[in-house]
C-alpha cells in the first residue's frame, strides 16, 4: 500500500548513481508508448438518440489491445431538436463515460443533431442552451475521460456549415455571429475549466473573439476563451485550403502553428488528394501544427497510402507527445527518515506537449516487502513539455519506520484528474523506462537505492 508523504523541493544528492538510458528499442508506433493517453490515432464511434448504441467494453478493450487510447464519440440528438433531452438518454450518456473510465480510454466528444446533408435542422439558440444546461452536470462529473470536446451542435455533423438556425456560411450576419458566440460561451461554462473545446476553423475563433493574433505563452492554460479554444480539421490535406478549413491560408496557417503550441488540434482526412495527401506533406504539416490526434478509421485511401509510403507508424508515434528518458540521478543509499532526491532528464520526441494538466510523482517500492511510498506532485506541468529536452527534480522524506533494504525508484506520471490518478491505464510511460517486471503499473523505472 502506498502512503502519501510530503513533497519537498530539494537539490540533488551529491552521491548518486547516474543512469544513462538507452533509446527505445521498439519500432515507432509500437509498444507501451503507443498506448499513452490523449494522443495518437483514434477509433470512431457514433450513436443516435433514436437508436442508442452504447459503448461495449469488449470492443473498447480490443481497441486498447491494438494501441488505441482515444475514441471519437458522436452523440446525435436527433429526437431532441425541439425538446429537452430525456432522462433516459442523459443516463445513457453518463453510463458511456463510466464505461470509458472502467476500461481506461478517453474520448474526443462531439454532439450534433443531424448527419443528413438534406436535413439541416438543429436546435434553436434557446433550446441548445437548455441542452447544455442539462449536460453540464454530466460533463462536470466525467470530465476526466473527456480528452477534448469539439464545439459541435450547430449544423450537419456539428461542423457549423449547413445549418438552419445559425446562418449561411457565406452570408453570416451580426446576429448569426452573436448566436454562434453564445454557443461557445455556453460550452465553456458547461465544460470544466480544465478542458478545451475545438472549433472547426481558425476563422470561427478569430471572429468570435474579435482577435486576429494567436495566443501567447503568458496567456496559455488560463480559464479564458483564448486559452480554451483549439481547432479540429475534418478535411486535413483534402485540398489546398483543406476544403474550407482555411479562408486565408497564408495568414491563418501561421496563426494555427502558434496556437497549437498551447491548444489542441486534431481531426481526420476526408479525401484522397495526391500529392498533397502523401507522406511528405502530411509529416510536414502535422509536425508544424503540433497534431495531437487523428481519425484512424477515415479516410481509408489516405491512411493506406501512408502505410504504403512508410510514414504511418511515424505519424502514430509522433502525434502528441512521445516522452523518452535520457538519464536519471538516483542516490546509492539513503538513511531511513532521510531525504531522497532524484533528477530525471527527458526528451519529447513527439510533435506536441500533452493536452491536459498532469505532473510527476516519485515512487519508492521496497523490493522484498512490497511496501511503497509516493510523493506529492512535483512542481511541474507536462503541458509545458514541448518537443525537446526537459528535466524534473523529485524529492521525498523516507519515513522513520520504512523498512531497510533495496527499493525501486520510479517516476509516476498520472492523470491530472483525481478520479483517474489511481488508475494505471491513464499513466504516461516512456518506452525505454517502463518497469519490465511490472508493466501493468505503467511506472517509469529510474533505478534502485538502498535504505540503511
31-318 has which fold?
Answer: TIM Barrel (3.20.20)
* Beta partners for residue 48, in sequence order: 51, 76
Full 3-state SS string of the chain: CEEEECECCCCCCCCEEEEECCCCCCCCCCHHHHCCCCCEEEEEEEEECCECCCCCHHHHHHHHHCCCCEEEEEEECCCCCCCCCCHHHHHHHHHHHHHHHHHCCEEEEEEECCCCCCCCCCCCHHHHHHHHHHHHHHHHHCHHHEEEEECCCCCHHHCCCCCCCCCCCCCCCHHHHHHHHHHHHHHHHHCCCCCCEEECCHHHHHHHCCCCCCCCHHHCCCCCHHHHEEEEECCCCCCCCCCCCCCCHHHHHHHHHHHCCCCCEEECCCCCCCCCCCHHHHHHHHHHCCCCEEECCCCHHHHHHHHHHCCHHHHHHHCCCCEEEEEEEEECEECCCCEEEEEEEEEECCCCCCCCCCCCEEEEEECCCCCEEEECCCCCCHHHCCCEEEEEEEEEECCCCCCCEEEEEEEECCCCCCCCCCCHHHCCCCCCCECCCCHHHCCEEEEEEEEC
What is the percent of the chain with per-residue pLDDT over 70, rounded to a whole number? Answer: 93
Residue 27 has pLDDT above 80, yes or no: no
Q: How far apart are CA 337 and CA 110, in angstroms?
A: 51
Residue 112 has pLDDT above 80, yes or no: yes
Backbone dihedral region for residue 6 (phi beyond 0: left; psi -120 to 50: alpha; all else: beta): beta
pLDDT band, very low/low/confident/very high, at 20 (cuts 50, 70, 90)? low
Question: Which has the higher per-residue pLDDT, 281 or 17?
Answer: 281
Residue 358 has pLDDT above 90, yes or no: yes
Q: Give the CB-side neighbour count of residue 6, counting CA atoms within 13 A.
A: 7
Mean pLDDT taken over the chain: 94
Cβ density class 389-426: b for 16+ within 10 Å, e for less:
ebebbbbbbbeeebeeeebbbbbbbbbbbeebbebbbb
> What per-residue confidence (pLDDT) applies to 33?
58
Residue 130 has pLDDT above 60, yes or no: yes
Q: Please state, in angstroms and as integers, the Cα–Cα distance from residue 282 to each residue in 70, 143, 250, 309, following that order.
A: 21, 31, 18, 11
CATH architecture of 2-25+323-451: Sandwich (2.60)
Q: Which residues contact 174 (CB under 8 A, 6 or more apart)?
A: none
Structural domain boundaries in the chain: 2-25+323-451, 31-318
Question: Which has the higher per-residue pLDDT, 306 or 9?
Answer: 306
* Contact predicate 94/127, CB 8 Å: no
pLDDT band, very low/low/confident/very high, at 18 (cuts 50, 70, 90)? low
Residue 261 has pLDDT above 50, yes or no: yes
Q: Which residues contact 175 (CB under 8 A, 6 or more apart)?
A: 167
Residue 4 has pLDDT above 80, yes or no: no
> What per-residue confidence (pLDDT) applies to 170?
86
Residue 169 has pLDDT above 80, yes or no: yes
Residue 103 has pLDDT above 60, yes or no: yes
Averaged pLDDT for residues 146-169: 97
Residue 112: exposed, middle, or buried by beta-carbon count in 10 A (0-12, 13-18, 19+)? buried
Query: How many C-beta atoms surround the C-beta of residue 93 within 10 A?
Result: 24
For 224-254, how does the pLDDT look when each residue is reduced to its tens digit (9 = 90+)?
999 999 999 999 999 999 999 999 999 999 9
CA-based nearest residue to 428, from 375, 350, 371, 364: 350
pLDDT band, very low/low/confident/very high, at 431 (cuts 50, 70, 90)? confident
pLDDT band, very low/low/confident/very high, at 149 (cuts 50, 70, 90)? very high
Residue 29 has pLDDT above 80, yes or no: no
CA angle 225, 228, 230 (to 5 degrees): 110
> What per-residue confidence (pLDDT) applies to 427?
98
Strand 16-20, strand 323-331: pairing: antiparallel
Averaged pLDDT for residues 171-192: 98
Lowest mean pLDDT among 13-22, 74-83, 90-99, 298-307: 13-22
Q: How far apart are CA 369 and CA 404, in angstroms?
A: 10
> What per-residue confidence (pLDDT) applies to 19?
57
Q: How far apart are CA 449 and CA 445, in angstroms?
A: 12
* Contact predicate 197/151, CB 8 Å: yes
pLDDT band, very low/low/confident/very high, at 21 (cuts 50, 70, 90)? low
Place of cell 515512487: 363
Q: How far apart are CA 159 and CA 52, in angstroms?
A: 22
Averaged pLDDT for residues 334-350: 98
What is the percent of the chain with per-residue pLDDT over 90, rounded to a whole number? Answer: 91
Q: Torsions phi, psi of 138, nearest 5?
A: -70, -45
Averaged pLDDT for residues 65-88: 98
Averaged pLDDT for residues 10-36: 49
pLDDT band, very low/low/confident/very high, at 5 (cuts 50, 70, 90)? very low
CA angle 341, 428, 102 (to 5 degrees): 125
Averaged pLDDT for residues 208-219: 98
Amino acid at each position: 500500500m502506498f502512503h502519501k508523504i510530503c513533497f519537498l523541493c530539494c537539490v540533488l544528492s551529491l552521491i548518486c548513481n547516474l543512469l544513462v538510458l538507452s533509446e527505445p528499442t521498439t519500432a515507432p508506433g509500437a509498444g507501451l508508448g503507443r498506448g499513452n493517453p490523449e494522443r495518437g490515432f483514434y477509433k470512431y464511434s457514433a450513436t443516435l438518440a433514436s437508436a442508442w448504441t452504447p459503448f461495449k467494453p469488449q470492443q473498447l478493450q480490443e481497441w486498447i489491445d491494438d494501441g488505441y487510447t482515444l475514441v471519437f464519440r458522436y452523440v446525435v440528438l436527433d429526437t431532441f431538436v425541439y425538446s429537452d433531452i430525456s432522462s433516459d438518454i442523459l443516463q445513457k450518456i453518463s453510463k458511456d463515460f463510466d464505461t470509458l473510465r472502467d476500461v481506461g480510454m478517453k474520448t474526443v466528444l462531439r454532439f450534433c443533431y443531424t448527419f443528413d446533408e438534406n436535413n439541416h435542422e438543429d436546435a434553436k439558440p434557446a433550446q441548445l442552451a437548455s441542452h447544455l444546461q442539462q449536460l453540464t452536470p454530466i460533463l462536470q462529473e466525467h470530465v476526466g475521460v473527456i480528452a477534448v470536446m469539439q464545439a459541435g451542435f450547430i449544423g450537419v455533423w456539428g461542423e457549423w456549415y449547413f445549418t438552419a438556425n445559425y446562418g449561411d456560411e457565406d452570408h453570416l450576419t451580426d446576429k448569426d455571429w452573436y448566436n454562434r458566440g453564445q454557443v461557445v460561451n455556453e460550452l465553456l461554462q458547461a465544460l470544466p475549466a480544465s478542458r478545451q473545446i475545438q472549433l472547426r476553423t481558425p476563422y470561427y475563433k478569430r471572429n468570435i473573439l474579435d482577435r486576429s493574433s494567436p495566443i501567447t505563452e503568458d496567456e496559455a492554460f488560463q480559464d479564458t476563451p483564448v486559452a480554451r479554444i483549439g481547432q479540429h480539421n475534418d478535411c486535413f490535406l483534402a485540398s489546398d485550403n483543406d476544403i474550407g478549413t482555411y479562408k486565408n491560408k497564408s495568414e491563418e496557417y501561421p496563426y494555427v502553428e502558434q496556437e497549437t503550441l498551447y491548444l489542441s488540434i486534431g481531426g481526420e482526412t476526408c479525401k484522397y488528394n495526391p500529392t498533397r495527401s502523401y507522406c511528405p506533406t502530411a509529416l510536414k504539416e502535422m509536425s508544424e501544427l503540433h497534431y495531437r490526434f487523428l481519425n484512424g478509421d477515415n479516410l481509408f485511401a489516405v491512411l493506406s497510402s501512408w502505410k504504403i509510403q512508410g510514414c504511418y507508424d511515424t505519424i502514430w508515434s509522433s502525434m502528441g507527445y512521445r516522452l523518452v528518458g535520457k538519464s536519471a540521478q538516483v542516490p546509492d543509499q539513503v538513511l531511513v527518515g532521510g531525504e531522497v532526491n532524484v533528477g530525471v532528464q527527458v526528451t519529447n520526441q513527439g510533435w506536441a506537449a500533452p493536452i491536459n494538466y498532469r505532473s510527476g510523482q516519485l515512487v519508492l517500492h521496497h523490493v522484498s516487502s512490497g511496501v511503497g511510498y509516493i510523493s506529492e506532485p512535483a512542481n511541474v506541468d507536462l503541458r509545458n513539455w514541448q518537443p525537446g529536452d526537459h528535466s524534473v527534480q523529485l524529492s521525498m522524506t523516507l519515513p522513520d519506520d520504512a523498512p531497510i533494504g533495496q527499493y525501486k525508484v520510479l517516476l509516476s506520471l498520472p492523470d491530472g484528474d483525481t478520479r483517474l490518478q489511481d488508475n494505471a491505464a491513464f499513466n504516461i510511460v516512456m518506452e525505454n523506462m517502463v518497469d519490465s517486471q511490472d508493466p501493468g503499473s505503467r511506472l517509469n523505472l529510474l533505478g534502485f537505492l538502498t535504505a540503511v
